[in-house]
């Protein structure tokens, strides 16, 4: 069966709390007067009735300003967020390149974290043992594998996380701004690996603020604004509209 992602009227909402940390005086008054809750909040839709049909062969780029809903959409597709409304259907195995290293255990060695992080990404220990040498060589951290991760620099941790996350061929590849991990040498090296993964994958959904990367890798672009789709179509046309909107904002 071909890979697919289908979103039907998908909405995701969050709460913004006000006065979530009341002072001791406010808490005491609240207790004496019998008020049950000092917290107030407002709800907003990070995604608002999104409809998308993504099929095998699609290389879909998501663009928009900060807060447009791009990362929320990726996390919803990946199963990190559950929609409050609508239906999400996914056919195929997802390989998410998002928040790399978030599942690392700083007390464990690099080698141990290869197994731990691999398990979080859905890889069996058997596969990780087979791929361990390749991961270590690509990360260029051979001399540090028996050292606990708490002694790694942020760049070293990023390199290890990327090397683990990209060790298998993906079916559905999800990317959220991972090109900037590591030094200049590793950025170029990781960019080349991602291009190879994109070529082998059945489907790509990616977020990047670097529009040249979107144009280079994608054959379709969705422009998001405040949780809504403003345009879905040809990369050049959608990016042109986005750049025009930004220019208008800058001239106000």
What is residue 181's predicted lDDT score, i.e. its pLDDT? 55
Query: Cβ(9)–Cβ(92) under 8 Å?
Result: no
Query: Cβ(224)–Cβ(63) under 8 Å?
Result: yes
Query: Cβ(221)–Cβ(238) under 8 Å?
Result: yes
Q: Is the pLDDT of residue 151 over 90?
A: yes
| Domains present along the chain, CATH in parentheses | 4-250 (3.40.50.300)
Query: Cβ(33)–Cβ(25) under 8 Å?
Result: no
DSSP 84: S
Q: Is the pLDDT of residue 136 over 90?
A: yes
Other Cβ atoms closer than 10 A to 114? 25
* Average pLDDT over every residue of 160-183: 83
Q: In sequence order, what E strands does 64-157 have? A: 85-91, 94-97
What is residue 85's predicted lDDT score, i.e. its pLDDT? 95
DSSP 148: B
Element (H, E) at 251: none
Indicate the angle between helix axes 125-139 and 154-165, nearest 10 degrees.
130
Query: Cβ(242)–Cβ(222) under 8 Å?
Result: no
* Band of residue 168 on the pLDDT scale cut at 50, 70, 90: confident
The string of pLDDT tens digits covering residues 62-103 is: 999 999 999 999 999 999 999 999 999 999 999 888 888 888
* Band of residue 154 on the pLDDT scale cut at 50, 70, 90: confident
CA-to-CA dists, residue 221 to 7, 76, 121, 205, angstroms: 16, 18, 27, 9
């Amino acid at each position: 069966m071909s890979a697919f992602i289908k979103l039907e009227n998908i909405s995701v909402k969050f709460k913004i709390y006000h006065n979530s940390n009341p002072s001791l005086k406010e808490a005491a008054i609240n207790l004496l007067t019998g008020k049950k809750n000092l917290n107030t909040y407002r709800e907003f839709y990070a995604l608002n009735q999104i409809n998308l049909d993504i099929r095998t062969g699609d290389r879909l780029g998501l663009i928009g300003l900060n807060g447009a809903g791009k990362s929320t959409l990726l996390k919803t597709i990946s199963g990190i967020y559950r929609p409050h409304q609508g239906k999400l259907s996914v056919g195929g195995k997802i390989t998410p390149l998002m928040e790399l290293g978030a599942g690392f255990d700083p007390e464990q060695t690099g080698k141990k974290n290869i197994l731990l992080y691999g398990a979080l990404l859905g890889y069996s220990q058997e596969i990780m043992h087979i791929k361990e040498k390749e991961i270590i060589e690509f990360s260029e951290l051979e001399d540090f594998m028996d050292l606990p991760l708490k002694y790694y620099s942020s760049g070293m941790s990023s390199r290890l996380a990327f090397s683990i996350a990209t060790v298998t061929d993906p079916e559905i590849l999800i990317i959220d701004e991972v090109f900037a991990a590591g030094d200049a040498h590793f950025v170029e090296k990781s960019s080349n690996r991602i291009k190879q993964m994109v070529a082998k994958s059945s489907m790509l959904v990616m977020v990047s603020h670097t529009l040249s990367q979107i144009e280079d890798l994608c054959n379709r672009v969705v422009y998001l604004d405040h949780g809504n789709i403003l345009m879905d179509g040809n990369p050049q046309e959608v990016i042109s509209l986005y750049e025009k909107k930004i220019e208008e904002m800058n001239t106000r």
